[in-house]
């Protein structure tokens, strides 16, 4: 394994900003990844792992680390107890994988269609959309513990899944590298319909008994209308998708929020633990931002207030600064601090 030096990372991210990796290597298999870890440890160099680049913002200065781009591929499955267990390598493009499961009639991932990125990212932040989360179906995650160099299959119960969170993300971020994920899906199962927008779109299409493919088509159409699928012709394409997670606050904070909002229509959803989830997009728009608003080469998507878009000439510092301004405005207006969804490489 011989890393390349001073490799620009901007072209490997969907935002298209950021500086170079001091060292860079692609890992198409586990032995290459293990060699990269050993190389970094021998030299006292930090190790960073890059997937599809749709959930990372790289600083303009780049990163003084060995960046390993995972390109492991392969999908296997086996039938078990009326279900099918499907294992996908971390480097598989996520939407290609979802399309495969839908085409085969395996229910469980259909509402997660159109999400950019790779399979390996899905357990990291417990990817979810339109009423589904990957934690609903994940049975185990194959991961490398970079501290000890050991590879293990981690059962779902030990993954610490929560809203856009997991053990892999919160416990010593960067320590674990996901190599493969196994999902338990239901052959011939019904699609999930828990989201009003999806039900409405299906009704508008005249679909009364939706199949998995119908739900996938509706989800893709909804996401496309929000510029939440990667389309080279879309002027909003250079983004990380949703830049902030929907905040979850204690129930005790709701009265103050309602007073500050002065709007009974403020979206809120009670959570199983008694806390309240809010809409980050609603908070942003009601803190004074509008879709399409720009400050120089960075701004909000014209189609969704949650997406920060980098236009020609944008730098990572512009993205960071704009995100801070959004956070500060929302915090001043509502007393809620928005948390970024992408990882900052600084």
Average pLDDT rounded to a whole number, residues 307-324 = 98
Structural tokens at position 290:
């509008």
- pLDDT band with cut points at 50, 70 and 90 for residue 276: very high
Domains of the chain: 4-70 (3.30.43.10), 75-225 (3.30.465.10), 248-345 (3.90.78.10)
Three-state SS for 112?
Answer: helix
Place of tokens 């001073």: 6
Question: What DSSP designation does 253 have?
Answer: G
Whether 174 shows a pLDDT value over 90: the answer reads no
Structural tokens at position 56:
């990372």
Structural tokens at position 344:
């900052």
**pLDDT for residue 170:** 83
Return all residues near 19 (Cβ < 8 A) that are at least 6 apart: 8, 9, 10, 58, 59, 60, 61, 62, 63, 316
**pLDDT for residue 230:** 86
Phi-psi category of residue 333: left, alpha or beta, with phi > 0 → left and psi -120 to 50 → alpha: alpha
Residue 116: which of 24, 226, 204, 205 has the closest Cα?
226
Q: Is 205 a catalytic residue?
A: no
The model's pTM = 0.92
115-136 pLDDT per residue, tens: 999 999 999 999 999 999 999 9
Q: Is 275 a catalytic residue?
A: no
Sheet order of strands, 308-310 included: 294-295, 298-300, 308-310
What is the C-alpha separation between 101 and 83, in angstroms, rounded?
12
Share of the chain above pLDDT 70, in %: 100
Per the DSSP assignment, residues forming a β-bridge with 144 are 151, 177
**pLDDT for residue 119:** 98
Three-state SS for 201?
Answer: helix
195-252 pLDDT per residue, tens: 999 999 999 999 999 999 999 999 999 999 999 998 899 999 999 999 999 999 999 9
DSSP per residue, 138-175: EEEEEEEETTTTEEEEEEGGGS--BTTB-HHHHSSTTS
Summary mean pLDDT of the chain: 96
**pLDDT for residue 87:** 98
What is the C-alpha separation between 161 and 123, in angstroms, rounded?
8
What is the C-alpha separation between 236 and 304, in angstroms, rounded?
9
The answer to whether 314 touches 297, Cβ cutoff 8 Å, is yes
What is the C-alpha separation between 258 and 279, in angstroms, rounded?
13
Average pLDDT rounded to a whole number, residues 66-91 = 97
What is the C-alpha separation between 305 and 29, in angstroms, rounded?
38
Q: Is 172 a catalytic residue?
A: no
CA angle at 151 for the pair 146 and 154, rounded to the nearest 5°: 105
DSSP H stretches of helix in the chain:
30-43, 94-103, 167-170, 196-204, 212-225, 254-261, 280-286, 316-334
What is the C-alpha separation between 15 and 6, in angstroms, rounded?
19
Structural tokens at position 295:
């400050």
CA dihedral 304, 310, 315, 321 (to 10 degrees): -10
Residue 133: which of 192, 61, 206 has the closest Cα?
192
Whether 171 shows a pLDDT value over 80: the answer reads no
Place of tokens 């999806």: 198
Residue of 164, 223, 237, 315 marked catalytic:
164
Residue 304: which of 288, 287, 317, 292 has the closest Cα?
292
What is the C-alpha separation between 258 and 281, in angstroms, rounded?
16
């Amino acid at each position: 394994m011989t890393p390349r030096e001073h490799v620009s990372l901007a072209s490997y991210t969907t935002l298209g900003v950021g500086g170079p990796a001091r060292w860079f290597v692609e890992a198409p298999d586990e032995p290459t990844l293990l060699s990269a870890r050993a190389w970094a440890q021998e030299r006292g160099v930090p190790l960073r792992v890059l997937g599809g680049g749709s959930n990372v913002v790289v600083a303009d200065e780049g990163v003084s680390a060995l960046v390993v781009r995972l390109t492991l591929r392969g999908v296997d499955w086996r039938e078990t107890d009326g279900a099918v267990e499907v294992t996908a390598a971390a480097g598989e493009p996520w939407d290609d994988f979802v399309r495969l499961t839908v085409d085969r009639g395996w229910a469980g991932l259909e509402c997660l269609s159109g999400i950019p990125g790779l399979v390996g990212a899905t357990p990291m932040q417990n990817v979810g959309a339109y009423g589904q989360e990957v934690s609903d179906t994940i049975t185990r995650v194959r991961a490398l513990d970079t501290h000890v160099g050991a590879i293990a299959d981690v059962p779902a119960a030990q993954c610490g899944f929560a809203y856009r969170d997991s053990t892999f993300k919160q416990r010593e971020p960067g320590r674990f590298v996901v190599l493969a994920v196994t999902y338990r899906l239901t052959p011939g199962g019904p699609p999930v319909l828990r989201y009003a927008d999806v039900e409405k779109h299906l009704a508008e299409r005249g679909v009364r008994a939706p199949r998995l493919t119908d739900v996938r088509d509706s989800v893709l159409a909804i996401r496309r209308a929000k510029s939440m699928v990667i389309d080279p012709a879309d002027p909003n394409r250079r983004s990380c998708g949703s830049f902030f997670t929907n905040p979850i606050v204690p129930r005790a904070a709701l009265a103050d929020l309602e007073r500050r909002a002065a709007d009974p229509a403020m979206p809120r959803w009670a959570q199983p633990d008694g806390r309240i989830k809010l809409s980050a997009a609603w908070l942003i728009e009601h803190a004074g931002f509008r879709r399409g608003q720009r400050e120089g080469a960075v701004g909000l998507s014209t189609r969704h207030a949650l997406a920060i878009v980098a236009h020609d000439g944008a730098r990572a510092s512009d993205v960071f600064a704009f995100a801070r301004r959004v956070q500060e405005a929302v915090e001043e207006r509502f007393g809620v601090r928005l948390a970024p969804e992408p990882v900052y490489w600084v």
